[in-house]
Amino acid sequence: MAERLEQGDALLIVDLQNDFCPGGSLAVPEGDQVVPVLNRWIEAARETRLPIYASRDWHPENHVSFADRGGPWPPHCVQDTQGAAFHPDLKLPEEAVVISKGTDPDRDQYSALDDTGLGARMRQDGVRRVWAGGLAQDVCVRASVLDAAEEGFEVHLILPATRAVDVNPGDGDRALEEMREAGAVIEQDAEPVQ
């Protein structure tokens, strides 16, 4: 369905980084396929001068989420490495607000709104409705959408703009159900009006 973006809208792009795309150290299947979709939303958001927020995992080398410290994940998105860079085809404008998370070696942050100041920043920017996409649907996108809904934003998850890592089969679908139950709208085929 065609969606016209308006004042009060914002785009939230979660962790669209090389390590989460095919070839990366924690690749989400088809993770790179969301890039052209999100580029269309970026274009539409820019035309209407809407805020764009992009979160990134930005871990120190000894991060608690890494397997060698007993965490669930292989090392990924280590600060200042190629793996931590945004996907090279993502047309993130200079004015996009970048939110780094997971920077404390002893603490992980799946959500872009977990103690990052993003919720306050969005309120300050007059945001009411958040269009979200990125990686991974069942991990950091899930956590960010749940937090944004909890903070009172109207959240729309752009389904074609996200993919699940599905460590356990069905994780992606279960995450969608949780987000729906939290009040988020799951947009099956939304496309922005240019």
Options 15, 19, 32, 108, the catalytic residue: 15
Cβ burial of 181 (10 Å; 0-12, 13-18, 19+) is exposed
The answer to whether 100 and 53 have CB atoms below 8 angstroms apart is no
Segment near Zn ion (CB under 5 A); pick from 44-52, 87-95, 97-105, 124-132: 97-105
Site size toward Zn ion, by CB under 5 A: 2
Task: Identify whether 166 is a catalytic site residue.
Answer: no
* Residues in a beta bridge with 129: 9, 154
Place of tokens 């159900």: 177
Options 101, 108, 114, 138, the catalytic residue: 101
Residues 54, 124: Cα–Cα separation, whole Å: 17
Task: Identify whether 101 is a catalytic site residue.
Answer: yes
The answer to whether 52 and 45 have CB atoms below 8 angstroms apart is yes
The answer to whether 8 and 128 have CB atoms below 8 angstroms apart is yes
Task: Identify whether 77 is a catalytic site residue.
Answer: no
Whichever of 102 and 192 has its CB closer to Zn ion, that residue is 102
Whichever of 102 and 134 has its CB closer to Zn ion, that residue is 102
Residues 30, 102: Cα–Cα separation, whole Å: 24
Rounded to a whole number of angstroms, the minimum distance from the CB of residue 32 to Zn ion is 18
Residues 166, 139: Cα–Cα separation, whole Å: 9
Residue in the shown chain whose Cβ atom is closest to Zn ion: 57
Among 9, 19, 57, 147, binds Zn ion (CB under 5 A): 57
Residue 19 touches Zn ion, criterion: CB under 5 A: no
Rounded to a whole number of angstroms, the minimum distance from the CB of residue 123 to Zn ion is 26
Residues labelled catalytic? 15, 101, 140
Contact residues for Zn ion, defined by CB under 5 A:
57, 102
